[in-house]
Amino acid sequence: MSTSANERDPLLPRLAYVDARKKPNFSWLLPVLLMASISRGIFMFARFENHQKTFCPYSAYPCGYFSIWLELPSLTVMIQIWGAWASFLVSFMTVGRWSDLGDRRGRKFPLLLSVTGSVLINLIYLIVSNARPSQDDARDLISIGLILEGLFGGFATYNGTVHAYAWDVASTPVSRLVLFGIIQGLSFVGFILGSAIGRATDYNISYVLSFSIALLNLTFVYFILPESLEHPDATRLPHSSVFVSIFSPITIIFSGASGSGAGSSKKYLPFLGLAFFMYSLTQAMQTTLLRFTLWSQYLQGLPRWLVLVTPRIFELLTLLCILPCLAHFWKRKHGTAEHAGLHLSAFVSRNSILLATVSSTVILVFCMPENAKALYAIFAPLYSFSVAAGPALYALGGAYFVVLGRGNQIGSLFGALAVWRELALYLSYTMYGPGSSSIFWLTAFFLILSLLFLLPDAPSAENAEEVGVAQHDTTGPVEA
């Protein structure tokens, strides 16, 4: 019997039937989001406890300096500083390659890589915590683990890929913003749940739990999660070398348009990239507000749990309720065409950043002497509602790419935005100083710059529609 490849052709209809039963939609991504964020929350809390017990006698910072529930994100920057920055640099060099392969072959491949990196870093921390090597050996092993995590793409590749997956399965351009808001909201819920689990268990057990959840997530992505790209094909995009892909986070934003319908719209993407980075530099502001509320004269007498929980509730309310409602009414008034999604994203991003600018500026100018408690009680919680700017900027960047005729490179764009956001997180918490008002000045300055970069009008609706239709046609099956 011949063993030629042609004899496998009758299997294709059956495989197509299997794929049809697992039609990709956003609900398939929900378990991935929850498992990844819960695992990350457990791991970060365990990592803090591990650092406290291993390195605190020889380190004055950050041991005993931070409030764990307030400043858990900053601990990823402040502990094992060299390893954290090395991991980011490796991730910066690999995210372009993995995101590019995602645009060519499908989203599952970079998602598998990033989740594999999470499995490996959890395994290495588990080994270190149980083997109890010397401090020098522990630092070396942890640094190797962090670098391996970056080699597999790190959190930036994961974050960019889940946004690209949601972009692929969104039913309308207007719904993309809603899905991005759900990604951020559910990720935060899972992270807090994971942190609570980490707090309730010994860090050795926490590593086991985090590793197990990450491994389960890897299994789910490999065997169950359907591919979101209907026709992934490497021939849709020009090949790029590994060396060129290293600079992808820069070139993907500042390179010229490749589509004939781009016109003058290509000038908006660099402005958007700068606005995104400037806004991301303010990520430590929410921590600042919580600390000032708890340890200053503002709102004295309120229960500690209420001060901690209320801003987070406002953020979740914005992401999971206000954004979907706004998108619903926007759809009824403007329809579901490509230009409607673009202008909704522009509207939300501008007004959210404007809200954050007004809130932080009023607090800085009128409330810092602690003689305007009523104003602080209004504008400090108001800042939480500006959280919609993050998802809106992602959606706006994707909409610009469609206008530029580069919709088949959405994964590369979101990977670049994710890695710049991660760099901004590091810089934001590096500039952050507990008890210092400098972060208020810096936040107001960065928000104003971000708003200025977003002032240019979005591309015309006609241009967006024409290029959007053309781009939709180019992503269909490729003839042999």
Q: Write out pLDDT tens, residues 246-277.
A: 899 999 988 754 444 444 456 788 999 999 99
Whether residues 179 and 301 fall in one domain: no
Q: Which amino acid is at 292?
A: F
Range name among 271-275, 328-332, 386-390, 455-459 with the lowest pLDDT average: 455-459
The pLDDT-based confidence of 204 (bands split at 50, 70, 90) is confident
CB-based contact 440:88 (threshold 8 Å): no
Using CA atoms, how far apart are residues 333 and 335, in angstroms rounded to an integer?
A: 6
C-alpha distances in Å from residue 302, one per residue of 325, 368, 380: 31, 19, 14
Joined together, the tokens standing for residue 244 give 């060129």
Is 74 part of a structural domain of the chain?
Answer: yes
Contact 393, 275 (CB under 8 A): yes
pLDDT at 445 over 90: yes
- Percentage of the chain lying above the pLDDT 70 cut: 76
Same domain, 325 and 422: yes
Same domain, 260 and 363: yes
pLDDT per position as a tens digit, 338-382: 989 999 999 999 999 999 999 999 888 877 655 667 788 888 889
Flag the least confident range among 60-69, 106-115, 128-137.
Answer: 60-69
Give me the CATH number covering residue 407. Answer: 1.20.1250
Tell me what the mean pLDDT of segment 435-451 comes to: 85
In this prediction, residue 461 has a pLDDT band, given cuts at 50, 70 and 90, of: very low
* CA distances from residue 254 to 270, 271, 343, 395 in whole angstroms, order as listed: 5, 9, 22, 18
Q: What are the strands, taking DSSP E only, across 330-424?
A: none
pLDDT at 479: 33
Which pLDDT does position 263 carry in this prediction? Answer: 47
What does the alpha-carbon distance between residue 363 and residue 379 come to, in Å, rounded to a whole number?
A: 7
Does residue 336 have a pLDDT over 80? yes
Task: Give pTM, 2 decimals.
Answer: 0.87
How far apart, in whole angstroms, are the C-alpha atoms of residue 402 and residue 135? 51
Lowest mean pLDDT among 69-78, 225-234, 316-325, 470-479: 470-479
Based on the fold, state whether residues 255 and 200 are members of the same structural domain.
Answer: no
- Each residue's pLDDT tens digit, 46-61: 887 777 676 665 555 4
Local structure of residue 455 (DSSP, 8 states): -
DSSP-derived 3-state class of residue 225? coil
User: Is the model's pLDDT at 145 over the cut of 50?
Assistant: yes
Q: Do the Cβ atoms of 42 and 197 come closer than 8 Å?
A: yes
DSSP character at residue 385: G
Between CA 480 and CA 477 the distance in angstroms is 9
Residue 441 has which token pair?
């000045």
Domain encompassing residue 29 = 24-230
Place of tokens 């962090």: 146
pLDDT score, position 80: 65
Across all residues in the chain, what is the average pLDDT?
Answer: 81
Per-residue pLDDT, 113: 96
Q: Which has the higher per-residue pLDDT, 306 or 10?
A: 306
Say what the pLDDT of residue 76 is: 53
Same structural domain for residues 308 and 199?
A: no
Element (H, E) at 328: helix 323-334
* Structural contact between residues 283 and 428, judged by C-beta atoms closer than 8 angstroms: yes
Burial of 358 (0-12, 13-18, 19+ CB in 10 A): middle
Taking 80 as the threshold, does the pLDDT of residue 130 lie above it?
A: yes
pLDDT of residue 160: 97
Residues 113-140 have a mean pLDDT of 89
Nearest to 229 by CA among 101, 116, 114: 101
Q: What pLDDT was estimated at residue 458? A: 63
Report the alpha-carbon distance of residue 283 to residue 439 in Å, rounded: 10
| Weakest mean pLDDT among 137-141, 190-194, 252-256, 312-316 | 252-256
> How far is CA 93 from its chain centroid?
17
Evaluate whether residue 10 is within a structural domain.
no
**In a shared domain, residues 307 and 452:** yes
- Residue 226 and residue 251 in one domain: no
pLDDT of residue 97: 93
In angstroms, the CA 198 to CA 38 distance is 10
Q: Tell me the C-alpha distance between 115 and 154, whole Å.
A: 8
Average pLDDT over residues 462-475: 45
Say if residue 365 is in the same domain as residue 262.
yes
Residue that is last in its domain, among 178, 201, 230? 230
In a domain, 235, yes or no: no
Which is nearest to 309 in space by CA: 404, 231, 192, 168?
192
477 falls in which pLDDT band (50, 70, 90)? very low
**Domain termination residue (choose one: 169, 203, 230):** 230
Average pLDDT over residues 440-455: 93
- For CA atoms 84, 41, 111, 319, the dihedral sign is negative
Domain harbouring 215, CATH code: 1.20.1250.20
Q: Which of 199, 230, 261 is the last residue of a domain?
A: 230
Q: What total of structural domains would you count in the chain?
A: 2
